[in-house]
């Protein structure tokens, strides 16, 4: 309101009034140059963070590669003197005599046969069961039952090896001995079921060890295969159902083809696990002075169980190096199996 003299009583000039008539001074407009500089600083900080994280990740991966390489180099260096002093053929000899450091006679023929035969037999038993479980859990079982059953299968991986070994020799071996006797009696003409170098009584054979190993590698194969089958594209499944496919036809035409490479990779990972198993196999397998006959009813040692059985006697350098040489072969064998599994998995992802 104007005063009688005609002058305004408003202490804030109209030009300085804010919006809505409020007596506030307007903020100065932001400077575009300042905004650009702030944005550039933030981007630069993010780039530095990305670079640091990328370098740390690369260093972690490189550390793992270097560690594996150093382990292999250590084994090779320690094995070379013993290999040079070996008086037998390392690859074909069935002897493994390291009692006299001046007359070493050791070979890996029987160790390789028992290791590969027991692991392959375990894989033959475990893979079909794992595929069946994975298909049931992903395509047939109700969701609650799938979670419960899947958890129980995964719990098998937490059971210690010594428990599997004791269960195998005390419970499983007597139960499957009649099966072994029947196979040997009626299918003994086939090399895998021929009479071995140990007695079937007691069950200390590759046959028993293979069944125990199959139970031990079942969780890892099932877990990987189950996750692969769950990734089957829904569009593929719906397309098969739209054509009138039954549940089994959906599995056969979409799930199994999609998960083929993942199934093979899972089997290779399980094989790597079986190749390196020590305690359970050491408890089950019965030693034998006779060479292996390439039969499931043989006894003997795997690479890992042979090394573990003599670990308390590692004192002299040359005899110890003989076992290190066997360990180096196992190291290379396991590495190759895992490399094959990774290659198969990567090929499946690329497709």
In tens, the pLDDT along 235-260 reads: 988 898 888 888 899 999 999 999 88
pLDDT at 3 over 70: no
CATH of the domain at 129: 1.10.3720.10
pLDDT at 24 over 70: no
50, with CB counted inside 10 A (0-12, 13-18, 19+), is: exposed
In the structure, what pLDDT confidence band is assigned to residue 22 with cuts at 50, 70 and 90?
A: very low
Predicted confidence at residue 329, as pLDDT, reads 94
Using CA atoms, how far residue 248 sits from 135, 139, 140, 251, in Å, is 10, 9, 10, 5
For range 310-328, the mean pLDDT = 88
Predicted confidence at residue 18, as pLDDT, reads 47
Query: Pick from 125, 117, 94, 124: which is nearest to 281 by CA?
Result: 117
Structure tokens at 341: 């599994």
What is the chain's mean pLDDT, rounded? 85
The pLDDT > 90 percentage for the chain reads 48
Domain that holds residue 100: 96-350
**Contact call for residues 139 and 258 (beta carbons, < 8 A):** no
Q: Which neighbouring-strand residues pair with 2?
A: 8
Predicted confidence at residue 36, as pLDDT, reads 58
Instruction: Tell me how many degrees the CA angle 34-37-42 measures, rounded to the nearest 5.
Output: 130
Q: Which of 17-26, 109-118, 215-224, 263-272 has the lowest mean pLDDT?
A: 17-26
Per the model's pLDDT, the better-predicted residue between 197 and 13 turns out to be 197
* 271 lies in some domain: yes
pLDDT at 4 over 90: no
**What is the C-alpha separation between 284 and 301, in angstroms, rounded?**
10
* 13 lies in some domain: no
* 166 lies in some domain: yes
* 6 lies in some domain: no
* 65 lies in some domain: no
Look at the chain and report how many structural domains it folds into. Answer: 1
The pLDDT > 70 percentage for the chain reads 85
For range 25-44, the mean pLDDT = 58
**Contact call for residues 127 and 267 (beta carbons, < 8 A):** yes
Q: Which of 22-26, 269-273, 290-294 has the lowest mean pLDDT?
A: 22-26
pLDDT at 19 over 50: no
In the structure, what pLDDT confidence band is assigned to residue 279 with cuts at 50, 70 and 90?
A: very high
pLDDT at 114 over 80: yes
For range 78-98, the mean pLDDT = 91
* 140 lies in some domain: yes
* 136 lies in some domain: yes
**Contact call for residues 187 and 295 (beta carbons, < 8 A):** no
* 55 lies in some domain: no
**What is the C-alpha separation between 208 and 122, in angstroms, rounded?**
10
* pLDDT 10s digits, 120-133: 999 999 999 999 99
């Amino acid at each position: 309101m104007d005063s009688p003299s005609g002058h305004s009583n408003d202490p804030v000039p109209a030009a300085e009034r804010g919006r809505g008539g409020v007596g506030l001074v307007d903020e100065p407009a932001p400077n575009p140059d300042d905004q650009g500089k702030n944005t550039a600083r933030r981007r630069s900080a993010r780039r530095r963070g990305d670079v640091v994280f990328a370098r740390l990740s690369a260093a972690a991966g490189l550390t793992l590669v270097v560690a594996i390489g150093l382990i292999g180099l250590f084994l090779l260096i320690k094995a070379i003197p013993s290999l040079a002093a070996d008086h037998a053929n390392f690859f074909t000899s069935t002897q493994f005599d390291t009692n006299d450091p001046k007359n070493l006679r050791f070979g890996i023929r029987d160790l390789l046969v028992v290791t590969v035969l027991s692991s392959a037999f375990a894989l033959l038993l475990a893979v079909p069961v794992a595929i069946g479980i994975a298909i049931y859990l992903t395509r047939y079982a109700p969701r609650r039952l799938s979670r419960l059953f899947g958890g129980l299968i995964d719990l098998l991986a937490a059971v210690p090896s010594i428990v599997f070994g004791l269960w195998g020799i005390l419970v499983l071996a007597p139960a499957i001995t009649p099966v072994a006797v029947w196979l040997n009696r009626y299918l003994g003409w086939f090399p895998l079921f021929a009479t071995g170098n140990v007695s079937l009584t007691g069950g200390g054979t590759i046959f028993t060890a293979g069944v125990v190993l199959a139970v031990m590698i079942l969780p890892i194969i099932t877990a990987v295969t189950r996750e692969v089958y769950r990734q089957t594209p829904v569009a593929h499944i719906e397309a098969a159902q739209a054509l009138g496919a039954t549940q089994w036809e959906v599995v056969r035409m979409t799930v199994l083809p999609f998960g083929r490479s993942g199934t093979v990779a899972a089997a290779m990972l399980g094989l790597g696990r079986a190749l390196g198993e020590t305690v359970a196999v050491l408890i089950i397998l019965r030693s034998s002075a006779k060479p292996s006959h390439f039969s499931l009813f043989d006894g003997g040692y795997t690479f890992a169980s042979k090394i573990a059985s003599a670990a308390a006697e590692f004192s002299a350098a040359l005899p110890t190096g003989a076992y290190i040489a066997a360990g180096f072969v196992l190291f290379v064998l396991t590495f190759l199996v895992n490399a094959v599994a990774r290659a198969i998995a990567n090929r499946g992802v690329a497709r």
